Structure 1
């Protein structure tokens, strides 16, 4: 235990089931889908939809998907997040812990672990492992940590890393992780981001009159951009292609993992696989910058399902760039952010 340091660092990622058992997947999905920032409906309606329409069938299908990408040592997302935590800890003396928004280790568990490493914990630097702001990812992670601090009845200051979607060091880390793939003779680059319902953009629009209501809204300056997921993923892609010197007509953006019948951000990634292949794209390079750690959505939805859809539509080869994971430049970036804030 450190008797001199009063600071701690907390990394928070999405989460994962404890195993590929249907019961564990069902428990995980229930926690995830009952989050009011994921399915933002009144509690009773949300519970009815989740319990009566989703959980009776989805856990079994999801369990099979998890089995197809599960590692011998456990969940890829958890293992990769733990490796990131360990790599960051090697560069800092301030204790670093890892929490998950859903599943284990919870924010309560992670903060409790920090208190065992720091005698008199007074300040926590929270880094949500989400580059972009969305109520169903970044926002809910922050709220969960705040609730965990209240539950533990702690007198601790929480300092929060803001979304870093256009931070130069983050873009540099993306470029470094992609450099070997950029030398490939690809026809097109597709940036696939996790989708969100359009109504989430309206809810997080502080002006209530900009997002999806103004022509070319992501390019028109507005205070709404502070919390606009669509604007922020657009900026990530733009900054990346500018630094990589990629022609603007050689890339596009899409959104994956939609749920339900309400309108979600478009175009949809699965539809884009088909459209691009049918338009003559034979070699497709795919990036998923919304995820910093590989997970079910990248390893199964993109690498397996995406490849099948693209090839069935006439594409010849789909190459998926791994997430940042333990990329050295990414670890150095996290360490630099911590040190800039005084967490050495």
Structure 2
């Protein structure tokens, strides 16, 4: 069989024009795995409220971080794709879950090249309904409808793969080794608590109390976003030799009024500043590529909060983006996949 790989990231508006941002947000927020409420309620919330108020604000935020080449997330993903493609004889494509460069277009390009066995790599270290799951579910739906002779396989969440942890740790170390900081904050994208419960394959063993995340051998960990975030922090902290009390895990980007994973990043930044922390560094390991949530929400809004409460130095550590060692890791995983018989998603 002819094999190919499709890297998949989140996506981005086509431009910073509010109309393009509205179109993008509409597709993103109407995904039932992002806002997982009945269709009537989701339609009322998204089309009746959010899309009438949020696009202009979001467009202004995108303008702050937009590059001359375009959306940072798209540009960085394309750079990564090229580097990975240069490192393996296997065809490597790129797609986005939302917006342009759709998964359907990516699979169509594979089909047109005669590729009938595709490895999908969601560019998310940790599993979540609104990231990995929605990519794989859509890909399989598209395969059944448009590419029935194609087989799909995927690389599961790689938060605990040593090669990934090594790259992430090295990236952080390069930015903090000569940095005089008091606390390193690991900020992950938040999800509603109900998403964790919906992904719980253990029929209720997930207690959402912060304790079962560290229970060894728990079956629910395979699909537990919170556990995977917590373990990412623990593994990196161990690799870097960080002392207890000098680092912590938080969650950002909550939406709506339902309870989301805590502690919240913005409130933690504010609290630590008020408690006398003057120098903070922050890293965002839920993202492979820098994007609106890292470049604007954290690097700009987070720093503003910190300074407002007395903080002095706020250092944002970039995502691993298109690092050469990260491209090396992906190429290695692809070569290992290509060398063995794959299974259907």
Say whether the 8 Å CA contact 2:110–2:116 is kept in structure 1.
no
Query: 2:94 matched to which residue of 1?
Result: 98
Q: Secondary structure at the match of 1:249?
A: coil
Query: 1:179 matched to which residue of 2?
Result: 173
Query: 1:301 matched to which residue of 2?
Result: 297
What per-residue deviation string (whole Å, max 9, x for no partner) do you get for residues 5-24 of structure 1? Answer: 70000000011011111111
Query: RMSD over aligned Cα, in angstroms?
Result: 1.3
| Per-residue deviation, 1:179 | 2.2
Say whether the 8 Å CA contact 1:283–1:315 is kept in structure 2.
yes
What per-residue deviation string (whole Å, max 9, x for no partner) do you get for residues 75-94 of structure 1? Answer: 11001001100010000111
Q: Give the Cα separation in 1 of the matches to 2:117 and 2:210.
A: 43
1:123 counterpart (117, 129, 136): 117
Q: Secondary structure at the match of 1:96?
A: strand
| Per-residue deviation, 1:176 | 2.0
Q: Secondary structure at the match of 1:11?
A: strand
Tell me the TM-score normalised to structure 1 length.
0.96
Q: Secondary structure at the match of 1:143?
A: helix
Q: Secondary structure at the match of 2:214?
A: coil
Q: Secondary structure at the match of 2:159?
A: coil
Query: 1:205 matched to which residue of 2?
Result: 200
Specify whether residues 213 and 235 from structure 1 end up closer, same or farther in structure 2 by C-alpha distance, changes over 3 A only: closer
2:268 counterpart (272, 278, 281): 272
Q: Give the Cα separation in 2 of the matches to 1:212 and 1:103.
A: 36
Q: Secondary structure at the match of 1:10?
A: strand
* Residues 49-60 of structure 1 mapped to structure 2, 5 A cutoff: 49-60=45-56
Q: Give the Cα separation in 2 of the matches to 1:258 and 1:214.
A: 19
Instruction: Please list every run of at least 4 consecutive aligned residues from structure 1 whose deviation after the TM superposition is greater than 4 angstroms.
Output: none
The more displaced of 173-182 and 79-88 is 173-182
Q: Give the Cα separation in 2 of the matches to 1:310 and 1:215.
A: 26
| Per-residue deviation, 1:150 | 2.3
The more displaced of 72-81 and 213-222 is 213-222
Query: 1:140 matched to which residue of 2?
Result: 134
Query: 1:253 matched to which residue of 2?
Result: 249
Query: 1:225 matched to which residue of 2?
Result: 221
Unaligned 5+ residue runs, structure 2?
A: 341-345
Query: 2:321 matched to which residue of 1?
Result: 325
Say whether the 8 Å CA contact 1:80–1:325 is kept in structure 2.
yes
Specify whether residues 261 and 185 from structure 1 end up closer, same or farther in structure 2 by C-alpha distance, changes over 3 A only: same
Say whether the 8 Å CA contact 1:176–1:329 is kept in structure 2.
no
Specify whether residues 215 and 23 from structure 1 end up closer, same or farther in structure 2 by C-alpha distance, changes over 3 A only: closer
What per-residue deviation string (whole Å, max 9, x for no partner) do you get for residues 221-267 of structure 1? Answer: 32111110000000000000101111121100100000000000001
Query: 2:236 matched to which residue of 1?
Result: 240
The answer on 1:192 being equivalent to 2:190 is no
| Per-residue deviation, 1:343 | 6.0
Q: Give the Cα separation in 1 of the matches to 2:116 and 2:126.
A: 27
Q: Give the Cα separation in 2 of the matches to 1:343 and 1:23.
A: 45
Q: Secondary structure at the match of 2:95?
A: strand
Q: Give the Cα separation in 2 of the matches to 1:286 and 1:155.
A: 45
What per-residue deviation string (whole Å, max 9, x for no partner) do you get for residues 202-238 of structure 1? Answer: 1111123122356611112321111100000000000
* Residues 4-83 of structure 1 mapped to structure 2, 5 A cutoff: 6-83=2-79
Unaligned 5+ residue runs, structure 1?
A: none
